[in-house]
Structure 1
Amino acid sequence: MKYLNLSLLAASLIFSQGAFAHSDEYLDTQAAPHGGQLRMAGMYHYELVVKANEITVYLTDHAGTKIPSNAAAGTATVLSGKDKASVKLQPASDNVLKGAGKFGLAPDMKVVVSTTLPGQSAEQARFTPLQKTKTEGK
């Protein structure tokens, strides 16, 4: 019985490491491939890139493999200052969802990205794209 308890404890410690590895704090220490901000959305990684009136979301798995976006649908809710905008995201290429709308860029900007991939449940990720991350300034 003692060995079973130790085995279960060891297994829980090993598997819990993965959960810590993909927290927002951890992802903020990683350089994003397209210069955006990384977040987890279910079992996927989303990278958000925000430009004036344009939102791009790159979809990958944990290993960085592109997740096809050709039949995906999504929206981005942008909170910038006192303004709120909803941007419809549509497939743009390979693993990219893109949309345009009227919204301002502000340091306190928050973006909530909601997507649905074919045959999957809806996923959501929350971003603070204009706040400094731990990789900036290094």
Structure 2
Amino acid sequence: MKKTFPLLAALMVALASPAWSSGKDDHGHDHQPKHGGIVVEAAHMDWELVAKPERIVLHVSDHGKKASTAGATGKLTLLSGKDKAEAVLKPVGDDRLEAEGPFKLGPGTKVVATVTLAGKKPAAVRFTLK
């Protein structure tokens, strides 16, 4: 019994992990990527980061509906190994912010987006590239 308990506990944790979930949270909100990026929920919003060396795009939605980025301000901080870079995010279109590169990206790169949407408190959103 002593040897099977750690295995059983590890199996229960693995089955409860988000990798096994449908992509919906406890309230039925869908957190699947819609633009091929990485989705994180923060400050009651969904943030999808699409990172390419020449441009990083941050799509913003509110429970599956596009959120306005008009008047938004923001910046990106990229941490890749010992390298650190920053870039300004600018509103583009109705529901996204963009930063122009070039950017040094790779697996494990951490991206912190600090964004203030019009009329809202600042949000810090953290991503790790795969």
TM-score (norm 1): 0.70
Return the offset for 1:118: 1.2
Return the offset for 1:28: 9.7
Q: Secondary structure at the match of 1:55?
A: strand
- Cα RMSD between the aligned structures? 2.1
Matches within 5 A, 1:65-76: 65-76=65-76
Q: Which has the higher helix share?
A: 1
Structure 1 unaligned regions, length at least 5: 1-23, 132-138
Matches within 5 A, 1:11-26: 25=18
Return the offset for 1:38: 0.3
Return the offset for 1:103: 2.5
Within 2, Cα distance between the matches of 1:117 and 1:100?
Answer: 20
Of all paired residues, the percent bearing the same amino acid is 38
Within 1, Cα distance between the matches of 2:83 and 2:102?
Answer: 10
Taking a change above 3 Å as real, the CA distance of residues 28 and 54 of structure 1, as seen in their structure-2 partners, is: farther
Within 2, Cα distance between the matches of 1:97 and 1:74?
Answer: 8
Within 2, Cα distance between the matches of 1:95 and 1:25?
Answer: 26
Q: Deviations over 1:16-75 (max 9, x none)?
A: xxxxxxxx946995530000000012010000000013110000012x100011111111
Q: Secondary structure at the match of 1:56?
A: strand
Partner of 2:47: 46
Q: Deviations over 1:62-112 (max 9, x none)?
A: 2x1000111111111011222111110001101010011343112110000
Q: Secondary structure at the match of 2:99?
A: strand
Amino acid at match of 1:39: V
Taking a change above 3 Å as real, the CA distance of residues 127 and 25 of structure 1, as seen in their structure-2 partners, is: farther
Question: How many pairs does the alignment contain?
Answer: 106
Partner of 2:35: 34
Q: Which has the higher strand share?
A: 2
TM-score (norm 2): 0.74
Taking a change above 3 Å as real, the CA distance of residues 127 and 116 of structure 1, as seen in their structure-2 partners, is: same
Residue pair 1:75, 1:115 contacting (<8 A) in 2 also: yes
Residue pair 1:81, 1:106 contacting (<8 A) in 2 also: no
Residue pair 1:53, 1:104 contacting (<8 A) in 2 also: no
Is residue 2:118 matched to residue 1:118?
A: yes
Residue pair 1:28, 1:37 contacting (<8 A) in 2 also: no
